[in-house]
C-alpha cells in the first residue's frame, strides 16, 4: 500500500477558447450575428492579441458570464477521499470518480499529511493504522466472499473500513467562471493544504492554456489587494478591509 502524491493532468478544454469567448462577448454588444464573424476568427483575420485585449477590457468592467462557454477537463490522481469530499461541494461542475465499490481496495494507496510525516512518532502510528485497515479490509472481503458475496458485493461492504486517507482518482470539468471562483476559495492560504496544492496545479495548467482569463486568477486577496476575511481569520498576507 504505497503513499501517493497529487498529480493533475489537463485532458481537454474547449477548442478555440479565446475566439469563442471573444465571439460571446461581441454578441452582447454587436448588432450583427457572430456566426458570420466566426469564420474570420478561425482564419485569423482578427488577431489573437486584439481578441485578448477586447476580452480583458470587458472583464475589467465586471461582465464575466460569457466565459462560461469555455470549460476545462482535468484528470486528478493521488488525492484523498478527504479532498474529494471538499471538491464535490463545488456544484457547477461535473465529476467522475473512481468507485470503491468496483475497484478492489485490498492494497489501497494512501495520502500522508505533511505535518504527520514530519513527526516520526505520528508517521509510524499513521502507517501502522493504514496497515491495520488494509488487513481488516482483506479479512472482511475474504469472509464476505466465502459467505457468497462476490466481487463488487464484497467490496461495497468491506470499503466501510477505508479511511479518508485512501487515495482516489477523479475527472473534473468546470467552466472558466466556476474555475475562477474555485481558485479564489481553494488557492487561499486558509484552504486545506491538500486541495490548495491541487488547485495551484490546476491554475498553472489553466494559465498556460488560456492566459487572458487566468493570468490574474488565484486567491481572492490577489485580485483585491486586500484580504476579504476579518482580522481574526486573515493569514496576514494582505491587510484586511477592516485594517
Q: 211: which 3 cell numbers?
A: 492566459
- Coil, helix or strand at residue 51: helix
CA 227/CA 9 separation, integer angstroms: 30
Helix axes 17-29, 34-42, angle to 10 degrees: 150
* Residue appearing with cell numbers 493544504: 193
Q: Provide the 10 A C-beta neighbour count for residue 145.
A: 15
| 8 Å CB contact between 98 and 204 | no
Q: Which long-range contacts (CB under 8 A, 24 or more apart) does 224-233 make?
A: 229/190, 233/190
Gap between the Cα atoms of 235 and 39, Å rounded:
49
Question: Is 89 a residue of the active site?
Answer: no
Of 186, 223, 237, 241, which is the active-site residue?
186
Q: Is 4 helix (H, G, I), strand (E, B) or coil?
A: coil
Residue 190 has which C-alpha cell?
A: 486558509
User: Which residue numbers are catalytic?
Assistant: 186
Amino acid at each position: 500500500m504505497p503513499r501517493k502524491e497529487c498529480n493533475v493532468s489537463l485532458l481537454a478544454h474547449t477548442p478555440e477558447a479565446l475566439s469563442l469567448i471573444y465571439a460571446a462577448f461581441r454578441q452582447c454588444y454587436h448588432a450583427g450575428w457572430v456566426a458570420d464573424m466566426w469564420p474570420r476568427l478561425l482564419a485569423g483575420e482578427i488577431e489573437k492579441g486584439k481578441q485578448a485585449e477586447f476580452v480583458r477590457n470587458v472583464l475589467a468592467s465586471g461582465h464575466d458570464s460569457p466565459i462560461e462557454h469555455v470549460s476545462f477537463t482535468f484528470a486528478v490522481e493521488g488525492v484523498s477521499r478527504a479532498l474529494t469530499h471538499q471538491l464535490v461541494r463545488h456544484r457547477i461542475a461535473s465529476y467522475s470518480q473512481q468507485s470503491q465499490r468496483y475497484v478492489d481496495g485490498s492494497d489501497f494507496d494512501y495520502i500522508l499529511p505533511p505535518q504527520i510525516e514530519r513527526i516520526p512518532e505520528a508517521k509510524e502510528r499513521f502507517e501502522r493504522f493504514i496497515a491495520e485497515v488494509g488487513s481488516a479490509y482483506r479479512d472482511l472481503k475474504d469472509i464476505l466472499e466465502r459467505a457468497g458475496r462476490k466481487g463488487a458485493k464484497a467490496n461495497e461492504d468491506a470499503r466501510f473500513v477505508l479511511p479518508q486517507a485512501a487515495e482516489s482518482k477523479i475527472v473534473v470539468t468546470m467552466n472558466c467562471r466556476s474555475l475562477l471562483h474555485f481558485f479564489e476559495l481553494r488557492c487561499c492560504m486558509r484552504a486545506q493544504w491538500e486541495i490548495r496544492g491541487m488547485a495551484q496545479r490546476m491554475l498553472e495548467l489553466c494559465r498556460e492554456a488560456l492566459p487572458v482569463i487566468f493570468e490574474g486568477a488565484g486567491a481572492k486577496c490577489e485580485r483585491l489587494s486586500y484580504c476579504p476575511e476579518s482580522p481574526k481569520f486573515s493569514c496576514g498576507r494582505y491587510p484586511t478591509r477592516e485594517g
